[in-house]
Amino acid sequence: MKKQFFTLSLCLLVYTAFGQVDAPQKKITNLEPDVWLGIWDEAHSGGQFTIDTISYDEIPKYLDFRGTVVEALQWNDEKNEHILIQSVTGHFNWKEYYDEDSTDYMIQDKSELYAYHFQKQKDEQHFTKVWRMYDYNECYGVDWFTGFIPGATTITDVDKDGISEISIPYVIICRGGMDPGIMNIIMYEGDTQYALAGETMFCRGEQSYGGTYTQSDNLDKNPKLLHFLMARWDAHKCEDDRLY
């Protein structure tokens, strides 16, 4: 009986020890640098530009960016060669201090998203960063999300000036009820930024609500870009049945 007990105890010890070692190995094995989520809206992109998706390995190693890549695109316009990288961090813990001088804090959830635009002239060897877009969500809610809207990022030349426009719709949600989430569409043309900023919309039935936005002042002088962004807003504002 004692021998059986000893054998069983030894097996449990070996199994437990192996399990403790095996768990980190499985995590490392399952790590991925990219998670392709279909962020690019190919149907409303392009025109005179040939746009290609690129794999993680095709991203030049000297480019500096944060997060897990969810989309990477490469294209040429009249002047330059371009790379767009969109990435997210997933959620992580952060310390919310009660005030600036306090050492007391509460652990909250946080998540971040990034977009990076790199370009180089056609006779240059290396890409350089044109801009970085960043937003975040600090949330202790039941229902939360931070990310780009699938099938929504576009590369266009709406105003036909030979310079590509990059439009990036994304959503930030932190709630415990039925409040709309935050929705933004950020457009860059070169280093000029345009924006629609507002909220998602619950579109079902007669009790639809949300979906309002404000526009950046510089869109008043660019009606073609404004009309394009308004159409993209209407296409993506409804939140029904999608937790992005």
Assess whether 52 and 168 both reside in one domain. yes
Share of the chain above pLDDT 90, in %: 63
Residue 177 confidence (pLDDT): 80
Find the range with the poorest average confidence among 1-10, 30-39, 92-101, 231-240.
1-10
Assess whether 23 and 42 both reside in one domain. no
Assess whether 113 and 164 both reside in one domain. yes
Instruction: List Cα–Cα distances, 241 to 65, 137, 139, 201, 203, in angstroms.
Output: 32, 21, 21, 12, 10
In the predicted structure, residue 21 carries a pLDDT above the cut 60: no
Q: Residue 63 falls within a domain, yes or no?
A: yes
**Which one is predicted more confidently, 166 or 141?**
166
For residue range 67-116, what is the model confidence (pLDDT) as tens digits? 999 999 999 988 899 999 999 999 998 888 888 888 888 888 899 999 99
Confidence of residue 18 (pLDDT cuts 50, 70, 90): very low
Q: How many domains does the chain have?
A: 2
Q: Residue 242 falls within a domain, yes or no?
A: no
Nearest to 110 by CA among 138, 135, 141, 147: 138
For residue range 152-210, what is the model confidence (pLDDT) as tens digits? 999 999 999 999 999 999 999 998 888 899 999 999 999 999 999 999 999 987 788 99
Residue 4 confidence (pLDDT): 53
Q: What is the mean pLDDT of the chain?
A: 88
Nearest to 46 by CA among 158, 201, 142: 158
Assess whether 119 and 159 both reside in one domain. yes
Assess whether 137 and 108 both reside in one domain. yes
Q: Residue 10 falls within a domain, yes or no?
A: yes
Q: What is the pTM of this model?
A: 0.85
Which structural domain, as residue segments, surrounds residue 27?
Answer: 1-31
Instruction: List Cα–Cα distances, 211 to 32, 173, 200, 208, in angstroms.
Output: 35, 14, 5, 9
DSSP label of 16:
H
Positive or negative, the CA dihedral 37, 137, 187, 75 is: negative
Q: Residue 243 falls within a domain, yes or no?
A: no
Assess whether 207 and 137 both reside in one domain. yes
Question: Which two three-digit tokens encode residue 241?
Answer: 């049945």
In the predicted structure, residue 124 carries a pLDDT above the cut 80: yes
Q: What are the beta bridge partners of residue 174?
A: 144
Instruction: Beginning with the edge strand found earlier in the chain, give each strand of the sheet holding 51-53 in spatial order.
Output: 51-53, 68-76, 80-97, 105-121, 128-139
Residue 132 confidence (pLDDT): 98
Q: Which residue has the tokens 């569409």?
A: 185
Residue 27 confidence (pLDDT): 67
**Which one is predicted more confidently, 186 or 21?**
186
Confidence of residue 19 (pLDDT cuts 50, 70, 90): low
> CA-CA distance, 56 to 46, in Å (whole number)?
22
Assess whether 45 and 165 both reside in one domain. yes
Assess whether 17 and 119 both reside in one domain. no
For residue range 213-234, what is the model confidence (pLDDT) as tens digits? 999 999 999 999 999 999 999 9
Positive or negative, the CA dihedral 183, 188, 193, 194 is: negative
Q: Residue 86 falls within a domain, yes or no?
A: yes
Instruction: List Cα–Cα distances, 68 to 36, 88, 126, 131, in angstroms.
Output: 10, 5, 23, 18
Assess whether 120 and 108 both reside in one domain. yes
For residue range 167-176, what is the model confidence (pLDDT) as tens digits? 999 999 998 8
> CA-CA distance, 127 to 138, in Å (whole number)?
33
Q: Residue 146 falls within a domain, yes or no?
A: yes
Q: Residue 244 falls within a domain, yes or no?
A: no
Assess whether 64 and 88 both reside in one domain. yes
> CA-CA distance, 234 to 243, in Å (whole number)?
17
Interacting residues of 81 by C-beta distance below 8 A, sequence separation 6+ = 74, 75, 119, 120, 121, 122, 127
Residue 243 confidence (pLDDT): 66
Three-state SS for 154?
strand
Assess whether 82 and 121 both reside in one domain. yes
Q: Residue 241 falls within a domain, yes or no?
A: no
Q: What is the mean pLDDT of residues 48-74?
A: 96
Assess whether 167 and 88 both reside in one domain. yes
Q: What is the mean pLDDT of residues 28-38?
A: 79
